A and B are shown apart, each in its own frame.
Chain A
């Protein structure tokens, strides 16, 4: 093929159709754009919180907490190419930190609306510290070795909680005292609605920051390092530093997610952050679509919906209580695994990849009909 032909502009590039190729696709500053989306989502959430029953509010709050962790993991695994089987442990770090902070505050008789934000921030800081240590090790490892080390983290952290039971109260875990909704919201404000507001606000904040970062040059270097480390180094990118940064960022969100879970459950125990949780998080990332923040929503919804789903499936059969319990315990894993396989075959880009492909197809048809 001749170079002149080869370098001729493509007939119609899918994105460039809107204007000159390489033109910024969106108008307005990054912060304003992402804040606007977050405000709309927040208002929607408030609306929903009034429309649905308290239990659904609680479930949605749980989705928000998982979403935080899944979104961070999708950045690490999808965009930076680092596999982590240890994010459940990072969530545990955040959860225990928030529990210890809240207990310390209450033991000193402190009250006020500022306690929870401070505890959540402390949880993020603690997880960032742990994430930095694991991240430095991770940056030296590849593939199965990285998986092995993060797996070890997933197993060690809950075990630590049991070993040092003077601080963490062993298998029993800790309770997490949380303030009731502020009185300004009225005396009969449902607690679950307040939970959704808190979890939703924290998660939206985390998502805005993640989206900012992913859209910036840091997102680009994350992906460049994932695609070709040698070329990345020659492009002036410090590969190890980039990998540690990605790990720390995703650890921070995992810590926040775990802290929110603890706040929602008002307790924390090692059993809630088992090895299975780490696997579930990773599966949620893949099912939602690797590296897609929007896809993390689907993954998080699935994480919360599955136990519910398997409970209703179990109720369809008449089983002995023991068999029913075993079925209900294992069904989520089976369903999750099956979904994972189906998604990988049908839509390698995950649910979000499938949706955006559908969206583009509909848009193209609509354009074709108009012209």
Chain B
């Protein structure tokens, strides 16, 4: 049986525009896979297909060999968590509450215990709080637990978003441009963090990363898929991809006219 997430010949069209064309890729457990490509290459569309925001016109997805028909609010139950571009934190919740919200699918106490304020609901909340604090602690931001996200520097907010995704204890983490808006030093720390995720002892997770920032992608990925105009134009290890002429052409724009024609 094929482990991990796999996309098979995914095609997505918006009217006359082909956003994704016969895209196949695989994220096995324990790996960090990067998706790169110029603006409009279809990277975010790809994420939206995996998350169930977009239903592909053709092709299929599998998770551990079983067919996957993703729906956004069911993802964390399947062991998939995603961060959003520009953090997407809940502004009216504290940092701790944001992270606790990320673990919603692990909450066990139902509506009635919550309404009656029964100890069962309290215990559940206490467990969520402890686990959320542990995640924050692991990312070095437990000191901000009671802060409102809006009062924090962008780098910290980015980490809170990461913590919220990790609180779901995913087997697969989807990172949507995690380096956006970060300085060089923050990016280096982020790279270290991402590299650790598949290898850590508790809740190791594979990573699928969409990113513009080449240094980060080259530093953390075991495998890279290059998209251009919705098609996979190259795939392989960072070294393979770096030396691929099709990739440099796509980024430098030499073949843009030809590809568009």
How many chain A residues have a CB neighbour from B under 8 Å? 47
Please determine whether B143 and A8 come into contact, CB atoms closer than 8 angstroms.
yes
B interface footprint on A228-240 (CB within 8 Å = 1, 0 otherwise): 1011111111110
Q: Which residues of A contact B129 (CB under 8 A)?
A: 22, 24
Which residue in chain B gives the minimum CB-CB distance to A291?
Answer: B92
Q: Which residues of B contact A223 (CB under 8 A)?
A: 90, 92-93, 97
| A residues 242-278 touching B (CB-CB < 8 Å) | 245
A43 in contact (CB, < 8 A): no
Q: Which of B37-45, B120-128, B207-215, B218-226 is near enough to bind chain A? A: B120-128
Which of B88, B93, B143, B156 contacts A21, CB < 8 Å?
A: B143
Q: How far is the CB of A16 from chain B (nearest CB, A)?
A: 5
A306 in contact (CB, < 8 A): no
Which of A228, A236, A239 contacts B75, CB < 8 Å?
A: A236
Which of B96, B101, B114, B124 contacts A235, CB < 8 Å?
A: B101
B115 in contact (CB, < 8 A): yes
Which residue in chain A gives the minimum CB-CB distance to B187?
Answer: A3
Majority secondary structure, B binding face: helix
Whole-angstrom distance between the alpha carbons of A231 and B153 in the complex?
20
Please determine whether B100 and A217 come into contact, CB atoms closer than 8 angstroms.
yes
Q: Which residues of A contact B116 (CB under 8 A)?
A: 31, 209, 212
Please determine whether A21 and B73 come into contact, CB atoms closer than 8 angstroms.
no
Given contacts A209-B116, A236-B76, contact A10 B147 (CB under 8 A): yes
Please determine whether A21 and B84 come into contact, CB atoms closer than 8 angstroms.
no
B254 in contact (CB, < 8 A): no
Whole-angstrom distance between the alpha carbons of A216 and B116 in the complex?
10
Which of A7, A22, A216 contacts B133, CB < 8 Å?
A: A22
Please determine whether B136 and A227 come into contact, CB atoms closer than 8 angstroms.
no
Q: Which residues of A contact B59 (CB under 8 A)?
A: none
Q: Which residues of A contact B101 (CB under 8 A)?
A: 220-221, 224, 232, 235, 237
Q: How far is the CB of B116 from chain A (nearest CB, A)?
A: 6
**How many of chain B's residues touch chain A, expressed as a range?**
35 or more
Whole-angstrom distance between the alpha carbons of A218 and B141 in the complex?
25
B227 in contact (CB, < 8 A): no
Please determine whether B117 and A212 come into contact, CB atoms closer than 8 angstroms.
yes
Please determine whether A217 and B125 come into contact, CB atoms closer than 8 angstroms.
yes
Please determine whether B88 and A230 come into contact, CB atoms closer than 8 angstroms.
yes
Which of B100, B183, B185, B186 contacts A220, CB < 8 Å?
A: B100
Given contacts A22-B136, A235-B102, contact A213 B114 (CB under 8 A): yes
Q: Known pairs A2-B185, A22-B133. 7 more at Cβ < 8 A?
A: A22-B132, A213-B114, A216-B115, A217-B104, A224-B90, A227-B93, A234-B73
The 23 sampled A-B contact pairs (Cβ below 8 Å) are A3-B189, A6-B156, A7-B155, A13-B143, A13-B147, A21-B142, A34-B117, A212-B115, A216-B115, A217-B114, A217-B121, A224-B101, A227-B89, A228-B88, A234-B51, A234-B73, A234-B82, A235-B76, A235-B102, A235-B168, A236-B76, A236-B104, A238-B73
